[in-house]
């Protein structure tokens, strides 16, 4: 046997220990250091909750309300929350002003219109969180044209779902200090 034919490792003589999976899990749990619970500030969903007509944030209930159509008062709540006129809101939601007026009289929006209302409310809530709870600063940021968005305002850019994702991504980068 030459020196290149020698094994790299030789098992030690002794007993082979076989344990059950349950026993292995117990041993692993004992060996694992204790975990600490860190409290994280909950994401604010204020405007989303208001337009969806819920008292506490419940994703399933909000989704159900969107599918059956939000109440028309959600339009007024969104107008006030975004600090835009009815005409500007009409443009953002891609719903003609006459249709918005008709929806207000009918009392309920269609599901796809409701989805767009919640999209803009979600963006406002995200901007408020990014601006450390300053609603005025968030509103101003949402209404300011930005070079990174091709000169559009974040609200204008968010008129489509893909555009809204761009704005959410930008807010996330701002929140985490990533330069763009």
**Token pair belonging to 85:** 């006129």
Is pLDDT of 48 > 50? yes
46 within domain boundaries? no
- Domain of 72 in residue numbering reads as 54-175
* Residue-level pLDDT at 10: 59
pTM for this prediction: 0.73
In whole angstroms, give the CA distance from residue 79 to residue 75.
6
12 within domain boundaries? no
35 within domain boundaries? no
| Number of domains composing the chain | 1
19 within domain boundaries? no
In whole angstroms, give the CA distance from residue 107 to residue 102.
9
4 within domain boundaries? no
167 within domain boundaries? yes
Q: Mind listing the pLDDT tens digit for each residue in 72-128?
A: 999 999 999 999 999 999 999 999 999 999 999 999 999 999 999 999 999 999 999
Give the pLDDT band (50/70/90) at residue 35: very low
36 within domain boundaries? no
């Amino acid at each position: 046997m030459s020196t290149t034919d020698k094994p790299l490792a030789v098992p030690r003589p002794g007993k082979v220990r076989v344990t059950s999976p349950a026993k292995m899990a117990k041993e692993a749990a004992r060996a694992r250091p204790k975990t600490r619970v860190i409290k994280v500030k909950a994401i604010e969903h204020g405007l989303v909750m208001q337009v969806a007509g819920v008292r506490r944030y419940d994703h399933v209930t909000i989704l159900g309300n969107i599918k059956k159509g939000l109440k028309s008062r959600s339009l007024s709540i969104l107008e006030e929350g975004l600090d835009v006129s009815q005409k500007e809101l009409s443009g953002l939601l891609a719903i003609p002003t006459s249709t918005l007026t008709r929806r207000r009289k009918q009392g309920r929006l269609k599901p796809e219109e409701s989805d767009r209302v919640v999209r803009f409310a979600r963006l406002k809530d995200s901007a408020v969180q990014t601006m450390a709870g300053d609603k005025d600063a968030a509103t101003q940021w949402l209404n300011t044209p930005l070079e990174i968005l091709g000169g559009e305002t974040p609200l204008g850019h968010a008129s489509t779902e893909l555009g809204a994702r761009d704005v959410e991504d930008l807010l996330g980068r701002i929140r985490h200090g990533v330069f763009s």
